Every structure is written in structure tokens, then in C-alpha cells.
A and B are shown apart, each in its own frame.
Chain A
Amino acid sequence: MTRLLERPLVHFALAAITVLVLPLVLRSGTLASEILIYGLAAAACNLLLGYTGLLSFGQGIFFGLGSYVSGLLLLRAGWPAPVMLPAVALVGAATATAVGWLSIRRQGVYFVMLTLAFSQLFYFLAYTFSDLTGGDNGLLNVPRPRLGGRALADPWSYYAYVAVLFLALFAVLQRVALSTFGRTLLAIRDNEARASAIGFPVRAFKVAAFAISGAVTALAGALHAMLIGVAPLSNIEYHTSETLLIMTIIGGGANLFASVLGAAFYLVAGDLLSAIWPRWLLLLGALLIAIALFMQRGLWGLVERAAALVTRAPAEGAVPEESRP
């Protein structure tokens, strides 16, 4: 069972099951769509944080940018969604390449500070160019994609649209994580100096990880703008970067499905708790402290431990021969 949990196919199956189960357990199609969208963005964040060891506060840039670019292309250029989405991915990848290329010049604290600075920079750019972005109000009236001549106005029909893209992009990210590229990222995370000493151009690998992560994050941002009908300023805020990082850490590192789990947990807990207590984020803070202190492998670590208990096989070492997907 514990071995089974390391198989990539099992992870994809878990993602597919999530897609099927969410409509059965949630009443809100909007919340269900949000889980998939943020799950995707968190998985892209994991490619940097969990696989490459880069704690970047820049993910909100790509998410927000995805929202704005999708809105602009749909509203101003009149592009249909199937044409708009690849363009958004390209813009996300290009921006992430630029931000990554400059940020990875420094390591550790200075890298983190650079990504924070970029995050602020892009926020104020969006705030300043209100002709394009709508400033404080956001870019309003972003339309839903059309299918068979009519817009996907119903939350659950849009959920289906999101679900298909979610599964496709999840599979792409899995492929990336399992590739020679993804396995090299793990080496860079473990020991950057050695990775360079055995011949890998570490910077090129980091920038490529940024580009892929940025493309997927921007797509998630586009899906989010179409979901809520607006590209809000808050999507490009520093807070979005923070939320994505928290989801990734709650879920667990170097594991794409764990990020989906983290996003689902964060959003469902937020939905339930905010109805009871407006200061629910306080509880989330306590949970983060607990994870940082006692369960650094996140929710996925709990799943693995539970699986080990069920099969009564002790989770020895818990390090697989190959990387996890």
C-alpha cells in the first residue's frame, strides 16, 4: 500500500477521483471549481518549492497576470477562450522567465526578498495602470467560455470545463516532474553545489522550472477570472502568493497531488470556519505552526502514515527509489 502510494498513476487516479467526488460532497459549484483552480496553482508552486527548493513569493504575479490577460483578451480583443488560454500560458511563462532569471541570481534570503519585491512591483503596476486593469475595482465582466453556442453560466457546467483542464494540466505537471528535467530539479533541491559540480547548468534548470510553473499558474488565474467574472486586484496581491505557498506547505512537498489536497483543505476549512467565526485565519495560523513543528510532510505525510498503519508495514525511511510524482 505504501509502495502503491508512490505510483504516478495512483496520483493521477486520486486527482480524477477528487474531480468526481467534489460535486457529491459540496453544494457550491463555485467552491468546487476554486478547489481545482487553486489546486492547480499550488501544484505549480510545488514544482518550485517542493521540487526545486525555491521559496518564491512571486506566484501571485503569474496568477494575477493570468486573470488580467485573460480578461483583456476576452473583453478587448474578443478572443475565444480556446485561443486565449494558450496565449495566457505564454505570457505567464515569459513573465516567470524574466522574474525567475533575475531572482535566481541570489540565493536563500535574498532570493526570497527579490521575489517579494517583484510581487510588490507587479501589484503597483496593476494598481497604477487602472485603464487596463480597472485598478481597485478590478477588471469587470469577464465572460465565461462558450460551449456549443452558449456561455457556461451554470456553476457546475463551468466546473466540468475547469475539471477537464485541471486533469490535463495535472497530467502535464506529472510528466514534467517524472522527466529527466524533474529528477534533476530534485538534485538541485538536495545539493545545488554538487548538481553544478557534476555538470548541470543549475540556473537554466531553475529558470525553466519558473517558466513551467508560471505558465500553469497563469492558466489557473485565467480560470479564476472566468469563474468569478472579474479579474480582481487581489489576485495579483502578495496575499495570493502567500495563500498558494500555505496550500503547498499544508499539502506536502515534492508531490503534486498533495498540493491539490492542501488547496482543498484550505478552501473547505475557510468556507466552513468563516461561517462560524470571521477570524478563522487565526486557526489556520495555529495549524501552520503545528505542521512546521510536527508534520513537515504535510497532509500527504498523514496519508502515508495512515496507509502504513493499515498495512501494518512500518514506513521505513519513506524514501522511494525514484522521486515521487
Chain B
Amino acid sequence: MTAASPTHAPASAGAFEPALAAEGLGVRYGSFVALKDVTLRVRANSVHAIIGPNGAGKTTLFHALTGRIRTAGGRITLGGRDITRTRDDDRVRLGLARSFQVTSLFATLSVRENLRLAAQGRTPWAALAPWRRVPEHDAAQDTVRALLQRLDLGPVAGRAAGELSHGQQRRLEVGMAMAARPKVILLDEPTSGMGTDDIGAMTDLIRDLGRDHTVLFIEHNMGIVMNISDTVTVMRAGQVLVEGRPAAVRDDPEVRRAYLGNMITGDLR
């Protein structure tokens, strides 16, 4: 089977206008081919998971979709609009936001300020005003207040982000992506390193996000993937191996072989 011909049709067959799509995407690091001919269609208001063994190119795909790295070929569209050559900061304005696998915060700034900046990132040129004070009541501040509550970060809102516990930092990491009020939100291993209690809350949050956003997320925990995803894409060696509904992907012999039963944590019954 080749990467370009997935075994399974997307969750609901037939043509649909994807919220985010990649066609024939390629990425090279020097002579190393990190992504080869990756085609991906993410349906609007769905939760779409990307799984695969380490080194499969999942994070590279995120980097390419968000514009952090240049693609060697292919096309990326966001809501039908070609964004292949759009800069990463401009893609945020168009409604694409992400969180990182390795927590990446403004460590010396307060939790509230981290979220405010992320909310402001939607209108970045308005921030380029050396004379304008930060308003106490505006849309960004409302977003911040709502997020502090939703992520249960209210009690630590005034603390520096670098001082938070790992679980709190992971929640803030996801919150930073949410603050931009994106149409499509990309979460890179949102539960990495989290304790069991925190994982439950994060799972609920991602499922929730799928209601009013389009969520594309990378995850190693199969329990989460199988429970909340509408579509699962399996990657291996920079290519798409299989795509389909969770149950179908779970039972696919190719997937089982790719993982050899032990490459992933969590429950793959």
C-alpha cells in the first residue's frame, strides 16, 4: 500500500470542504526526507488524531502546517485558502493556532500575561503601538478571564509561567493556542508527561474543543485517541500509512504491524 492511497475513506465518505488540508506535502532536512507526499483533509468541527511511532514525521507535519518550516513541495489550504507560502505569524490571523510538544511559554511573565499575549496575537499589528496602554477591558481580556476559568488556572494567574507545575504548564500550553480563538487548533501531544488525573481533564477539554473548533492533535495515548477522535491518521516514516475511523484503524493489520504491539502507550485493544 502506498501513502497516497489510504485504505479507508475519511470518517464520513463523500466530498466535503476541509477546514485544513494538505496535498502532496513534502519536507526535507538536508538530504533527509522528513515528509513525503502527505495528503491530509481535516473536516471542520471534528477531532482528528495523528498517531505513529517516534520519528514518523508527526511534529514535522505540524511545523509545516503552521509555517514554522518551509515545505519542499505540496500545498496547504486553510478553509479553502492557499496558505502554503504564508508566514507562521500570519497563519494565526487566518485562524490557525498550535501548542507545542515541548512546553514553550513566556517563563518570566505571569500566566495571565501569557494568555493575554496569545489573545493579542490575533491582532498583532494593533500591539505595535508604543503609546497605547494595555486596556483592562477588551476582547482579549475577556478571553483571558474565560480561559483562566476553563483551564482552572485562576488561582495561579499572577504567578510566573515558569513557576507552575508540569500539569499546569501543559494546560497553559494548550490555553495559549485556544486564546487566539482559532478555527483550527493543532495540539502536539497535549498530555505528554501528565499525571492520570490531569489526563482525564485534558481529554475532556479536547473533546469539548471539537464542538466549536476543528482539532488536529498528535497523541501517543491510544485510550484518548480511540475515545474522542472522529478520524485517525496513522503515519510512519514520513508518510500516511492509514486513515479512517478509530475502530477501523485499530483493527487494521498494517497499523498493528507498524506498531508491533508495543510502540505506543495506552489501550489498543
Name A residues whose Cβ lies closer than 8 Å to a Cβ of B: 175-176, 178-184, 186-187, 190-191, 193-202, 204-205, 208, 212, 317, 319-323
Which residue in chain A gives the minimum CB-CB distance to B87? A201
B88 within 8 A of A: yes
Within 8 Å by CB of B130, from A181, A200, A319, lies A181
Contact A190/B120 with A178-B133, A180-B134 known, Cβ cut-off 8 Å: no
Number of cross-chain contacts by CB at 8 Å: 120
Residue from A176, A197, A201 whose CB has the most chain B CB atoms within 10 Å = A197
In the complex, what residues of A have CB within 8 A of residue B87's CB? Answer: 201
| B130 near A198: Cβ-Cβ < 8 Å | no
B221 within 8 A of A: no
For the complex, give the distance between the alpha carbons of A197 and B176 in Å: 10
Jot down 13 A-B pairs with beta carbons below 8 A, ordered by A: A180-B126, A181-B129, A186-B109, A187-B113, A194-B176, A195-B117, A197-B100, A199-B93, A199-B120, A212-B130, A317-B159, A319-B108, A322-B110
Contact A181/B117 with A186-B109, A317-B163 known, Cβ cut-off 8 Å: no
B20 within 8 A of A: no
| B132 near A190: Cβ-Cβ < 8 Å | no
| B113 near A180: Cβ-Cβ < 8 Å | no
In the complex, what residues of B have CB within 8 A of residue A322's CB? Answer: 110, 113, 134
Contact A193/B89 with A179-B132, A181-B132, A321-B110 known, Cβ cut-off 8 Å: no
B148 within 8 A of A: no
Which residue in chain A gives the minimum CB-CB distance to B182? A199
| B158 near A321: Cβ-Cβ < 8 Å | yes
In the complex, what residues of B have CB within 8 A of residue A320's CB? Answer: 110
| A198 near B97: Cβ-Cβ < 8 Å | yes
Which residue in chain B gives the minimum CB-CB distance to A211? B130
Which residue in chain A gives the minimum CB-CB distance to B118? A198
On chain B, the number of residues with a Cβ less than 8 Å from chain A's Cβ atoms is 43
| A179 near B131: Cβ-Cβ < 8 Å | yes
Chain A at the B interface: SS class: helix
Which residue in chain A gives the minimum CB-CB distance to B115? A198
For the complex, give the distance between the alpha carbons of A178 and B134 in Å: 8
For the complex, give the distance between the alpha carbons of A323 and B160 in Å: 11
In the complex, what residues of B have CB within 8 A of residue A197's CB? Answer: 66, 68, 88-89, 92, 98, 100, 104
B220 within 8 A of A: no
In the complex, what residues of B have CB within 8 A of residue A184's CB? Answer: 117, 120, 127-128
| B130 near A187: Cβ-Cβ < 8 Å | no
| A191 near B105: Cβ-Cβ < 8 Å | yes
For the complex, give the distance between the alpha carbons of A202 and B88 in Å: 11
| A181 near B127: Cβ-Cβ < 8 Å | yes
B10 within 8 A of A: no
Within 8 Å by CB of A180, from B112, B120, B160, lies B120
| B68 near A187: Cβ-Cβ < 8 Å | no
Contact A186/B106 with A196-B88, A198-B92 known, Cβ cut-off 8 Å: yes
| Top 3 A-B residue pairs of the complex, sorted by shortest distance between their CB atoms | A199-B121, A199-B92, A198-B121
